[in-house]
Amino acid sequence: TCTPFENTLQQLPQRLCRHFLLFSTFLSSRTRTVSGAFQSYIQGLFQAPRGTQLRMSEGMETDSQALNHLLTEASVDWKGLTGEIARQADALLGGDDSALILDESAFAKKGQASAGVARQWNGRLGKVDNAQVGVFSALCRGRRVTLLDSRLYLPKSWVEDEARCQRARVPEEARQMRSKCTRALERVDAALTHGVRFGYVVVDGGYGKDPGFLRGLASRSLCFVADVHKDQRIWLNDPEPYVPPASGGRGRRASKRRTEAPGQTVAQWARQQSESAWKRITLRQGEKGRLRAEYLHTRVWVWDGKEEQARCWRLLVRRECGAKSPSHYVLSNADEIDVSRLARMQGRRFFIEHAFREAKSDLAMADYQVRRWDAWHRHMALVMIAMLFVVKERLLLKQEAPLLSLADVVMVLEKLLPKPEPTPKQLARLIQERHRRRQAATESCRRRGGEI
């Protein structure tokens, strides 16, 4: 006799099929539907050792061309599909205590044909290398997180090369130089448009260093918790910026504001504080026990040299227990929130990094074989649909299996989803197809003069 937990796991494939139905209305046109390729693709993300279309098709007896067609030419309402992802995520994790987390992730790539590829910082490799970079949003509540939306970053070298953009199918409206911070604000606006409920926005120092980005969040009446760099300038009192009055002599009238108040960096302020000023706070319960850190806190004034008035925000400085120097400097416009909760809000940024690691390791997020702009975004949308299903299962099984991970769900589906056993004849065809593709790639390279 099976236990209730075993029965629940046994029904995992059926629940995955019901999950597919939530998106079925976006997969059909008047004459045809691609629901079969849609299901095969997402099952392939769970089952294939690598998530390339070729490996998916080999493991599931699915035509790889059908999977590629899904990402490139299929009649799919991708805009509607993206909106449904946001609505499903909100139903699972939305609320006033939820966090909208913004971050970027890099994908190592060879060659120069993939949309947006350039020598860029790749955090996973810890160096500048040939890569694509996407700006992502995620919704987090407690320990649960799912990716919401993404947009590929287009470097300047691409924006200035119209022919290259055309080959990669970059749409006209995307061929403009937009910073990653602008892309991130667009992800915020998309979440608001789709009615996603969240109480605050969390970002790392790559975004918190941009005063315009933080002003953009504040102008949307959003609470933010933003890491900043150690050279962020602050004042302990209002610097009262002013435009110098016109002098009696000749010359152009001054237009830039200035202040006479001496400022300092957040790192300088932290060094001036005594050891007794640090407060130890418990952030969350981790697998190895309680995760704690030490914090300094004060109210500061921030002025970027452009605004008419300085802004009074809160400064939080974090260091790991036992460390001598801070690991994070944080600015927030949150008012009626105690320091302990503010520290835990800042700690939510960990979960999008964890989501990236899980999706790349177990959901083939980085194993795509596409070069086009649209295909990249569609692959990411399908990965997000798979992540949504995992969140549902973790919530469903939180009592029986509170430590259930994405890797656990992937392992169960890999075992329980139907996987045909190929005959020797079918295996021979698979190998012949692999050889055909290798030969075609070699000949294509030779025709280009050896350029890859």
What are the tens digits of pLDDT across the range 356-379?
999 999 999 998 889 999 999 999
Confidence band, pLDDT 50/70/90 cuts, at residue 50: low
Which residue would you say has higher pLDDT here, 39 or 65? 39
Looking at the DSSP bridge assignments, the partners of residue 141 are 144
DSSP one-letter code for 291? E
Both tokens assigned to 354? 């964890």
pLDDT recorded at residue 446: 76
Which residue would you say has higher pLDDT here, 85 or 6? 85
Contact criterion met (CB below 8 Å) for 378 and 70: yes
pLDDT recorded at residue 54: 67
Confidence band, pLDDT 50/70/90 cuts, at residue 393: very high
Q: What mean pLDDT is predicted for residues 332-347?
A: 94
Confidence band, pLDDT 50/70/90 cuts, at residue 53: low
pLDDT recorded at residue 326: 96
Q: What mean pLDDT is predicted for residues 332-344?
A: 93
DSSP one-letter code for 166? H
Contact criterion met (CB below 8 Å) for 334 and 223: yes
Task: Say yes or no to pLDDT of 412 above 90.
Answer: yes
For 14-40, the pLDDT digits (tens) are 999 999 999 999 998 777 889 989 998
99: left (phi over 0), alpha (psi -120 to 50) or beta: beta
Mean of the per-residue pLDDT values of the chain: 90
pLDDT recorded at residue 62: 67
pLDDT recorded at residue 71: 92
pLDDT recorded at residue 452: 46
For 173-184, the pLDDT digits (tens) are 999 999 999 999
CA 317: distance to chain centroid?
A: 25
Q: DSSP labels for 231-264?
A: T-EEBSS----BPPPPPSSSSPPP-S-B--S--E
pLDDT recorded at residue 126: 85
For 162-174, the pLDDT digits (tens) are 999 999 999 999 9
Task: Say yes or no to pLDDT of 451 above 60.
Answer: no
Contact criterion met (CB below 8 Å) for 125 and 143: no
pLDDT recorded at residue 286: 76
* pTM of structure: 0.90
Which residue would you say has higher pLDDT here, 320 or 50? 320
pLDDT recorded at residue 98: 97
Q: What mean pLDDT is predicted for residues 126-132?
A: 92
Both tokens assigned to 267? 């790192």
Task: Say yes or no to pLDDT of 49 above 60.
Answer: no
